Structure 1
Amino acid sequence: MTTTADHDAYIAAAPEPFQASLRRLRALLASALPDAEEVVAYDMPGFTIGGSIVASYAAFSKQCGLYLRAGAISEHAEEIAAAGLKATKTGVTFSPRTPIPDDLVERLARASRKDAGV
């Protein structure tokens, strides 16, 4: 994917099978972080509060990723594993066949905000 200026352009340029998942993630993150500003940083759409990136997402050739503050991932590691998802220190990967549960996305976003101290 190429560098994009906004969330809409990023989602439109993503592989078609991932576009619905990305739209869902965007809506969930916007709802969980109502005072966040949408940005594109590091070639990924994200949400920032007080200058701190709190959450972002991306599409790749075979999966999507939700990226958060490390404290949010560690705080919810058991839930992530129970949902059958893989996590790194700052991200959770998923596919449209195995999406992240909506309520988990919201909890992760709020925990990431708390971890950022904003």
Structure 2
Amino acid sequence: MTTIDDHDAYIAAAPESFQPSLRQLRTVLRRTLPDAEEIVAYNMPGFRIGGTIVAGYAAFSKQCGLYVSAGAISAHAEDIAVAGLKATKTGVTFSPRRPIPDDLVERLALASRKDAEA
């Protein structure tokens, strides 16, 4: 597998049907975390504040994922369920047919940032 070293390259290498969702996710995260550094760690794009990765995202063969702190996921579990999305301990998966709402991305990113600062 090719090593990806920036967000643009990651999105360009993702399945074409996922690229619009990934671009939108990146835009919302950049707006919500304006002081975060865009990084790639473990071949996955992320947003780091200080030494902590506050949010990351990935594309897989059938879905995309947004990854934040476990506390952010648990604090917004009901919102995630209402949006019809599935969550793991630290992530929310979605597809182009059922994208993650921008306002939910914002709330999750801000909660994850708060957890990182605690």
Structure 2 length normalisation: TM-score? 0.97
SS state at 1:2 partner: coil
CA positional deviation for 1:42: 1.1
Structure 2 CA distance, aligned partners of 1:51 and 1:38?
12
SS state at 1:80 partner: helix
Structure 1 CA distance, aligned partners of 2:5 and 2:48?
15
RMSD: 1.0
Q: Give the corresponding residue for 2:16.
A: 16
Unaligned runs of 5+ in 1: none
In the TM superposition, structure 1's runs of 4+ consecutive aligned residues that sit over 3 Å from their partners are none
Structure 1 CA distance, aligned partners of 2:116 and 2:2?
28
Aligned length: 118
CA positional deviation for 1:117: 1.0
SS state at 1:45 partner: strand
Identity of aligned residues (%): 80
Structure 2 CA distance, aligned partners of 1:42 and 1:113?
20
The answer to whether residue 108 in structure 2 is matched with residue 108 in structure 1 is: yes
The answer to whether residue 23 in structure 2 is matched with residue 29 in structure 1 is: no
